Amino acid sequence: MAFKALLFDVFGTVVDWRGSIIAEGEAFGRERGIDMDWAAFADGWRAKYQPAMERVREGRTGWVKLDDLHHANLMELLDELVISGLSAEDIDHWNKVWHRLNPWPDTVVGLTRLKRKHILATLSNGNVALIVNMAKYARLPWDAVLGAEVAGHYKPQPEAYLKTAAFLSLLPGECLMIAAHNNDLVAAGGCGLGTAFVRRPMEYGPTQDFDMEPENDYDYVADDFLDLASQLGC
Amino acid sequence: MAFKALLFDVFGTVVDWRGSIIAEGEAFGRERGIDMDWAAFADGWRAKYQPAMERVREGRTGWVKLDDLHHANLMELLDELVISGLSAEDIDHWNKVWHRLNPWPDTVVGLTRLKRKHILATLSNGNVALIVNMAKYARLPWDAVLGAEVAGHYKPQPEAYLKTAAFLSLLPGECLMIAAHNNDLVAAGGCGLGTAFVRRPMEYGPTQDFDMEPENDYDYVADDFLDLASQLGC
């Protein structure tokens, strides 16, 4: 089994969104004198992620890029948490925290090894600008930024996977989907892509109790990107 | 004037398509005992490029990716030149010569300098797989592969430029189009993008007599990517 392209889920699989938001929140809170449970802030924001995309998937709205969904979700959250007094610039800066997420410790070295023998492309629900800016920030060596926005469909809709493979002129079976989330891999596998589960047991913090282990028979199961690179002979 | 993204025309501007095809043709001819004017072969193939895209632009066919246009054009050309006896594999390999084009001598060093301060994205009529494979082959450090296929429109249609900027969440005026071709820059400028003309006087060989000089008032005019990098302070 030789895959030509490796397609990566990004949030949680490649970068530590929760830890990055907490760290930036704590620094911001100290600077502005805002006392806040930043873990709850991060989790509350992320909890609005799937429902917002679901409105797009169901066709209740036309295409809305993730930056704009994040913005609407942030406005709701600030309201719920009774946080006021932020300028429009503050809010825009905060919304772009998703462009400034830190990679897991193994990410950059692992991707660099994997890139030697494969095309590395993103297959994220993040929009192109978000993923491109994050790559500049975190030095992620993608060969192509594909996924939801260029496909016009949010994962786990099949078009997100199939159109990404088609843009690379590859058959689904020539692509390996890499994710820390069982539902993403089930959807990718259903489209005929190969599947690799990478354990990210701290994505949702120390009390995470889901996506701890592979729940299906995937092609690969790895502890991190270095382990995956070794298994793929890179 | 500070541009956030540099958008590159690729064929002729970044890579020497004509010289690369001639070199590969000469090697192929020696191996197979085919005596052929490979410069005429390259020029004949390229002459069919604009008319083929024009059929797509005019809506006489749905979207056809450039690899498939190249393939149809190659079959026509082989017929015209009375070249027969090539296997389907030979023809597929030949068609993918566009994925194996050599950069100009200044390209990789210049792009590496420009990448320090800018997002580098392709805005080519080449399809995603073609540009991604070429980047792996020629070590071109793109941050994103955008352009005609993801926009669903071939240059110089405005959508190709405007949708590429929109995928980057940038205004047209935050993007600088870089090309060795006046018509590409006129179209980009008409959409509000900045414009940089880079001289590639040997693109069409030693007798080239067009696109030798800028024919309009562009934001930058450069002798190569090193000169452009210096002018942009990189």
Over range A167-186, report the average pLDDT.
98
Q: What does the pLDDT average to over A77-95? A: 94
* Four-point Cα dihedral A50, A53, A58, A64, nearest 10: 170
Do residues B23 and B116 both lie within one domain? no
pLDDT of residue A1: 63
Of the residues B112, B122, B134, B169, the best mutation for testing chain A's interface (the one with the most A CB atoms within 10 Å of its CB) is: B169
Q: What percent of chain B has pLDDT over 70?
A: 100
Q: Does A170 touch chain B (CB under 8 A)?
A: yes
User: Shortest CA distance to A10 belongs to which of A114, A150, A111?
Assistant: A111
Assess A145–B contact: CB distance below 8 Å, yes or no.
yes
Of A84, A99, A114, the residue at which a domain comes to its end is: A99
Give CB contacts under 8 A, 24+ apart, made by B189-194. B189/B216, B189/B218, B190/B158, B191/B158, B191/B161, B191/B162, B191/B165, B193/B7, B193/B161, B193/B165, B194/B1, B194/B3, B194/B219, B194/B220
> Cα–Cα distance between B7 and B198 in angstroms, integer?
13
Statement: residue A73 has pLDDT above 90: yes
Q: What ipTM describes this predicted complex?
A: 0.96
Q: What is the pLDDT of residues A11-42, one digit of tens each?
A: 999 999 999 999 999 999 999 988 899 999 99
Same domain? For A95 and A148 the reply is no
Amino acid at B95: N
Cross-chain CB nearest to A143 (options B119, B136, B170): B136
Angstrom CA distances, A34 to A28, A228, B202, B224, stand at 8, 41, 62, 51
Q: Is B134 on the interface with A (CB under 8 A)?
A: no
Residue A138 Cα, gap to closest chain B Cα (Å): 12
H, E, C per residue of B109-147: HHHHHHHCCCEEEECCCCCHHHHHHHHHHHCCCCCEECC
Average pLDDT estimate for B50-56: 97
Cα distance between the two ends of chain B: 14
Q: Average pLDDT of A66-93?
A: 95
Residue A123 tokens, joined: 């297959």
Please give the Cα distance from A48 to B192 (Å, whole number): 36
Residue that terminates a domain, selected from A99, A127, A142: A99
- Is residue B43 located within the same domain as residue B71? yes
pLDDT in tens, A107-150: 999 999 999 999 999 999 999 999 999 999 999 999 999 999 99
Please report, to the nearest 10 degrees, the dihedral formed by the alpha carbons of residues A127, A153, A178, A98 taken in order.
20
Residue A10 has pLDDT above 70, yes or no: yes
Average pLDDT over residues B42-71: 97
- In order of A148, A232, B56, B142, B223, the CA distances from A105 in angstroms are 26, 19, 46, 24, 42
Residue B1 confidence (pLDDT): 63
Query: Do B73 and B110 sit in the same domain of this protein?
Result: no
pLDDT at B178 over 80: yes
CB A195 within 8 A of CB A184: no
- pLDDT (tens digit, 9 = 90+) per residue, B82-119? 988 899 999 999 999 999 999 999 999 999 999 999 99
Say whether both A60 and A150 belong to one domain: no
What are the tokens at B141?
Answer: 């450090």
Q: Looking at CA atoms only, how far is residue A78 from chain B in angstroms?
A: 24
Cα–Cα distance, B27 to A213 (Å, whole number) = 53
Average model confidence (pLDDT) for chain A? 97
Query: What is the reported pLDDT for A85?
Result: 87
Which chain B residues have a beta carbon less than 8 Å from that of A168?
Answer: 128-129, 132
B145 touches chain A (CB under 8 A): yes
- Sequence-distant (6+) residues with CB within 8 A of B2 are none
Task: Over range A78-98, report the average pLDDT.
Answer: 94
CATH code at position A178: 3.40.50.1000
Residue B23 has pLDDT above 80, yes or no: yes
Q: What is the pLDDT of residue A84?
A: 87
- Please check whether residues A180 and A77 belong to one and the same domain: no
Total domains in the fold of chain A:
2
Q: Hey, how many other C-beta atoms are within 10 angstroms of the C-beta on A216?
A: 10
Residue A132 is nearest to which of B133, B136, B143, comparing CB atoms? B143
A103 DSSP β-pair partners: A15
Tell me the shortest Cα–Cα distance from B223 to chain A, in angstroms: 28
DSSP chain A: ---SEEEE--BTTTB-HHHHHHHHHHHHHHHHT----HHHHHHHHHHTHHHHHHHHHTTSSS---HHHHHHHHHHHHHHHTT-----HHHHHHHHGGGGSPPBPTTHHHHHHHHHTTSEEEE--SS-HHHHHHHHHHHT---SEE-SHHHHTS-TTSHHHHHHHHHHTT--GGGEEEEES-HHHHHHHHHTT-EEEEE--TTTT-TT--SSSS--S--SEEESSHHHHHHHTT-
| Nearest-by-CA chain A residue for B168 | A129
In a shared domain, residues B117 and B79:
no
CA distance A113 to chain B (A): 14
Q: Check pLDDT > 90 for residue B211.
A: yes
Nearest CA in chain A to B141: A143
State the helix-helix crossing angle for B49-57 and B38-47, rounded to 10 degrees: 10
Residues in A closer than 8 angstroms to B143, CB to CB, are 132, 135-136, 142, 145
The range of the structural domain enclosing residue B106 comes to 5-16+101-231
Whichever domain contains A74, its CATH number is 1.10.150.240
Contact A65 B169 (CB under 8 A): yes
Task: Tell whether A78 and A105 lie within a shared domain.
Answer: no
Is A132 near chain B, with CB under 8 Å? Answer: yes
Same domain for B34 and B92? yes
Taking each helix axis from N to C end, the angle separating B38-47 and B66-80, rounded to the nearest 10 degrees, works out to 130
pTM of the full predicted structure? 0.97
Report the 10 Å Cβ neighbour count for B143: 22
Same domain, A125 and A180: yes
Q: What is the pLDDT of residues B192-203, one digit of tens each?
A: 999 999 999 999
Tell me which of B123, B145, B164, B174 to substitute to probe the interface with A (most A C-beta atoms closer than 10 Å): B145
pLDDT given for residue B85 in this prediction:
87
The chain-wide mean pLDDT, for chain B, equals 97
Residue at a domain's end among A38, A72, A99: A99
Based on the domain organization, do B117 and B200 belong to the same domain? Answer: yes
Q: What is the pLDDT of residue A190?
A: 98
Distance between CA atoms of B11 and B84, rounded to whole angstroms? 28
Q: Do A81 and A144 sit in the same domain of this protein?
A: no
Question: What does the pLDDT read at residue B184?
Answer: 98
